[in-house]
Amino acid sequence: MSDSREFDLIVFGATGFTGRLVAEYLITRDGAPRWAMAGRSQGKLEQVRDEIGAPADTPLVVADTRDAASLASLAARTRCVVSTVGPYTLYGTPLVEACVEAGTDYTDLAGEVLWMRQMIDTYSARAAETGARIVHSTGFDSIPFDLGVHFLQAEASRRFGSPCSRVRGRVVDMKGTLSGGTAASGRATAEAVSKDPSLAGQLMDPFCLAGGFRGPAQPSGNDVEEDAVAGGWIAPFFMAPINTKNVHRTNALLGHAYGEDFVYDEMFLTGPGEAGQQAAQGMAAISQAMLGGGGEGGPKPGEGPSKEERDAGGYDVHFFGSHANGETLRARVTGDKDPGYGSTSKIMAEASICLIEECGDVSGGVYTPGAVMGEILVPKLVEGAGLTFDLLD
């Protein structure tokens, strides 16, 4: 896309909690692009601009998901729209449509699998015509996992001549608050299934985002058990149903770069022995509540933890790769802020900038971060977003 448009990025939802954090990050980023804040209220935009210390001349754009003309105008003014306005099932489709029609790139924080599948089915062909790159899940779900697998598989191909056929993603440590938007998205998905029970099959299908590809049977991710490869007890991870589907879509979009026999799962790793087993059982109960649309006691959309709480958070995810030749490979991804807010806002900003600055040769379509950016994004996340990507052996 030409850079002749007025802006490089417009942060849509800048008056919400996560959108505000994205804007705060852009203020301090060296080499920040031409950007603007967008939301429904001019007065609220002005208030947030002043509260976060943005320059007084920071452009403000008024737009509303219920006003198609305002969304069309917004999309036409920028190279990329960065949307933090969820649940996307309720509010996301009109903006995606506006970006597709304008040939404008788009990123979001969606983890709503049913809605993402709808966007793929509805807009892939038209996005290919207009050149719009629609990239879902550019926050904690699912970039550390999607890019973690991509990072490990790239090294496996260099070392062994081909990728690992089996990869285990294990969350070793995670400290932080579940995003209020994530909880709301979970409830919106649960409500959609309650209205149309046939949609439950898509949620259960590990390949529902993989464009019709049918791969091998995948682990259920629902059990508490010992994992000899990881060296401890494992429990269900509440974001695995989102992340694993994105990883399989990345594999499909890359022409099955991980192989058509690729098997992947994500679990919490709670440690060895009786203590590890007890911790796994407790974690399983928490995950079950999250997957059931729970989390009612957490932050509501627009709310979130203090800066001190965000700074005290973090996460550590290990990836265990097993190659068909018997070789193994381990990789690690860490984040220096709480996953739902502090880390997500930085990841989203860097991914959006990478999309417009480094991926000019990628045609229009509906993508995952791993498929459209891949290894190009890794150093950007290390330099700007507080992530690390390391090989452990």
The whole-number pLDDT of residue 296 equals 47
The whole-number pLDDT of residue 154 equals 98
pLDDT-derived band at 180, boundaries 50, 70, 90: low
Structure tokens that stand for 60 in this block? 């403000």
pLDDT-derived band at 176, boundaries 50, 70, 90: confident
The whole-number pLDDT of residue 198 equals 76
Write down the pTM of the prediction: 0.95
pLDDT-derived band at 187, boundaries 50, 70, 90: confident
User: In the chain, which ranges are E strands?
Assistant: 7-12, 35-39, 60-62, 78-83, 105-108, 133-135, 166-175, 225-227, 232-236, 263-271, 314-322, 328-335, 365-367, 387-391
Backbone angles phi, psi at 58, to 5 degrees: -60, 125
Contacts of 391 (CB under 8 A, 6+ apart): 155, 329, 330, 331, 332
- Average pLDDT value for residue range 165-173: 98
- Average pLDDT value for residue range 82-104: 96
Model pLDDT for residues 40-60, shown as the tens digit of each residue: 999 999 999 999 999 999 999
pLDDT-derived band at 304, boundaries 50, 70, 90: confident
Model pLDDT for residues 239-286, shown as the tens digit of each residue: 999 999 999 999 999 999 999 999 999 999 999 999 999 999 999 988
- Average pLDDT value for residue range 380-387: 98
What's the chain's Rg over C-alpha atoms? Answer: 20
Model pLDDT for residues 202-249, shown as the tens digit of each residue: 889 999 999 999 999 999 999 999 999 999 999 999 999 999 999 999
pLDDT-derived band at 357, boundaries 50, 70, 90: very high
Task: Tell me what the pLDDT averaged over the chain comes to.
Answer: 93
Long-range CB pairs of 160-164 (<8 Å, 24+ gap) are 160/323, 160/325, 160/327, 160/329, 162/259, 162/323, 162/324, 163/257, 163/258, 163/259, 163/262, 163/323, 164/258, 164/321, 164/322, 164/323, 164/329
Is 370 a residue whose pLDDT tops 90?
yes
What is the rounded CA–CA span in Å between residue 88 and residue 117? 12
Q: What is the DSSP letter of 1?
A: -
Compute how many other C-beta atoms are within 10 angstroms of the C-beta atom of residue 121: 11
What distances in angstroms separate CA 146 from CA 165, 278, 282, one per listed residue? 16, 29, 26
Contact 339, 317 (CB under 8 A): no
